[in-house]
Amino acid sequence: MTTPVPAGHGANQARQDGGPAEAVTAVYVYQAPVRIWHWINAAAIVVLAVTGYFIGSPIATRPGEASANFMMGYIRFAHFSAAYIFTIGMLGRVYWAFVGNKHARELFHVPIFTRAYWSDLASMLRWYGFISKRPNRYTGHNPLARFAMFFIFVLSSFFMILTGFALYSEGAQAGSWEDHLFGWVIPLFGQPQDVHTWHHLGMWVIIVFVILHVYAAIREDIMGRQSVVSTIVSGYRTLKD
């Protein structure tokens, strides 16, 4: 169901110069829990990426007493704290996919077995490839965004949670809950260093995804037929012609 934009926000209103107005309609898409999760998750990813980089490439040893130099300890603490926030947020997001509106489920469901989905996906690829002049309008995620969100972001996120807690279980030692739940991951990859390498590569996958995600959102706001950036702030998607 669509909800007209309130007066003063441009819904079928005449321009001041007397010309025809642009038809604008607002649709409530993202509920508050989804929007809150999005921004907390984004902050956690930034902290994880920055601290993870320094954990993989530590800073040079600083002179002086060891008790006065705990820089890497602080970096690791920030990384672990952000990892817990990221993990709890993902679990909460899975829960909200069951109890939220239909748009809350799009992150985890891609209708790849329908012909219409692939047709719409091809249309969006032409739009992002600067071949089409106008994109189709979607109240939720467009088909290309749904594909990227699930097969790149969601799967990579759960991969990072598994490998991250597997590495964390080494410090927690045998018998800890981390070891019971994630200790099997290290033997699966062969050795801890292999897990470190794959975890590090996973970080770059998510970084590249974030860059493309931000680019696509801003591009759609400027060139598309609907709002994107403001939608994840207010919850309302503005559809315009």
Instruction: Give all domains of the chain, ordered by start, each with its CATH number.
Output: 32-61+69-224 (1.20.950.20)
Question: So what's the pLDDT on residue 224?
Answer: 85
Q: For residue 139, what are its two tokens? A: 């109240």
Q: How many angstroms separate the first and last alpha carbons of the chain?
A: 18
Lowest mean pLDDT among 7-21, 97-111, 193-207: 7-21
pTM of the prediction?
A: 0.84
Highest mean pLDDT among 15-19, 61-65, 154-158, 230-234: 154-158
Between 80 and 1, the higher pLDDT residue: 80
Average pLDDT on 117-146 reads 92
Which H, E and C letters describe the chain, residue by residue? CCEECCCCCCCCCCCCCCCCCCCEEEEECCCHHHHHHHHHHHHHHHHHHHHHHHHHCCCCCCCCCHHHCCHHHHHHHHHHHHHHHHHHHHHHHHHHHHHCCHHHHCCCCCCCCCHHHHHHHHHHHHHHCCCCCCCCCCCCCCHHHHHHHHHHHHHHHHHHHHHHHHHHHHHHCCCCHHHHHHCCHHHHHCCHHHHHHHHHHHHHHHHHHHHHHHHHHHHHHHHCCECCCCHHHHCEEEEEC
Residues 58-75: pLDDT tens digits?
887 777 776 677 888 899
Residues in the chain: 241
Name every residue whose Cβ is closer than 8 Å to that of residue 149 and which is 6 or more positions away in sequence.
106, 107, 141
Long-range contacts of 218-222 (CB under 8 A, 24+ apart): 219/128, 220/135
In tens, the pLDDT along 206-223 reads: 999 999 999 999 998 888
Q: What angle do CA 61, 70, 68 make, to 5 degrees?
A: 90
Query: 41 or 57: whose pLDDT is higher?
Result: 41
Dihedral angle, C-alpha 7, 12, 15, 21, nearest 10 °: 160
Mean pLDDT, the chain, as a whole number? 87
